[in-house]
Amino acid sequence: MAELRVGIDALDRALIDLLVARADHIDRAIELKPAEGLPARIDDRVAEVIGNVRTLAEARGLDPALAETLWREIIEWSIRREAAHLGG
């Protein structure tokens, strides 16, 4: 169990690193969206991301409903972050 826990902890660190990288991309979107007149929430993009995530999860053997739940939280956090900077 100790080795397994070390592996899980390493994966958690890697996931955090990936979430930081994703947040960096959101920050870049905050910089770019005003020039393109884009709002924080773009419903078509949300649907596209969720569809992509469900497809990827299913292809890799992960419960698509779990992936969707996780990504909806990440997406909503990202939209709130963008909206705080962009207004609306």
- Predicted local distance difference test score (pLDDT) of residue 88: 62
Mean pLDDT split into 10-residue runs, the chain, 88 residues? 97 98 97 96 98 98 98 98 90
**Closest to 75 in 3D by CA, of 50, 44, 39:** 50
List the structure tokens of 2.
């100790």
Q: Is the pTM of this model over 0.95?
A: no
Answer whether 88's CB lies under 8 Å from 34's CB. no
All domains of the chain in start order, with CATH: 2-86 (1.20.59.10)
| CA dist., res. 64 & res. 86, Å (int) | 31
